[in-house]
Amino acid sequence: MNTPTLTESDRAILNALRRNARMSITELAQDTGLSRSTARSRLDALVANGHIRRFTIETDVDVEGEVRAITLVALQGKMSRQVIRTLTRIPGVSTVFATNGAWDLVVDIRTDSLVSFDRILREIREIPGVVNSESCLLLAHVVG
């Protein structure tokens, strides 16, 4: 996708929404120092050009009953696009990051039980192009 370069206003909007994705347009305008109409039009443009793909929530890892893990994934050859497409369709896969080093991808998994986590992990390992994985369960949020 060929997306336009971000402006200072766009960056301010993105930073504000990272802190609170539920803020109103009025709050967004006040937070960024933009007029309400400018904040609305810049937000609409960020969504339209793909800089903002979705609005979501983030919960604390300590939420009772939630299982959260980070899974590191090594890929075979040039399979990353196909693997990423498959990963994003798996319920429980929250976010996929490309990285460098020994692991090709970092997968954030959020689910409601260890049984569901095991199912997700099995699905990941069975994706053509995945050659290795290592998972770390997140136990407690200790900072921030």
Q: What is the pLDDT of residue 1?
A: 47
Assess whether 43 and 74 both reside in one domain: no
CA 102 to chain centre: 21
Cα-only R_g, the chain: 18
Q: Are residues 34 and 91 in the same domain?
A: no
Q: Both 25 and 76 in a single domain?
A: no
Distance between CA atoms of residues 127 and 83, nearest Å: 7
CA distance 94 to 84: 12
CATH of the domain at 16: 1.10.10.10
- Retrieve residue 133's tokens: 């994985």
pLDDT of residue 77: 83
Q: What is the pLDDT of residue 98?
A: 94
Q: How many beta carbons lie within 10 A of that of residue 45, not counting itself?
A: 16
Q: Tens-of-pLDDT digits for all 144 residues of the chain?
A: 455 688 889 989 988 888 888 899 999 999 999 999 999 999 999 999 988 888 776 665 556 678 999 999 999 988 889 999 999 999 999 899 999 989 999 999 999 889 999 999 999 999 999 999 999 999 877 775
Q: Determine the pLDDT at residue 141.
A: 75
CA distances from 69 to 73, 93, 94, 115, 138 (A): 13, 10, 10, 13, 5
| Per-residue pLDDT, 133 | 96
Question: Which range marks the domain in which residue 113 is found?
Answer: 67-137
What are the tokens at 5? 């370069």
Number of domains within the chain: 2
In a domain, 142, yes or no: no
Q: How far apart are CA 15 and CA 72, in angstroms?
A: 27
Which strand ranges, in their side-by-side order, compose the sheet holding 130-137?
A: 93-98, 105-111, 67-75, 130-137
Residue 44 domain-assigned?
A: yes
The predicted structure's pLDDT at residue 20: 86
Start-to-end Cα distance in the chain: 35
CATH classification at residue 105: 3.30.70.920
Q: Do the domain assignments include residue 131?
A: yes
55 within a domain of the structure (yes/no): no
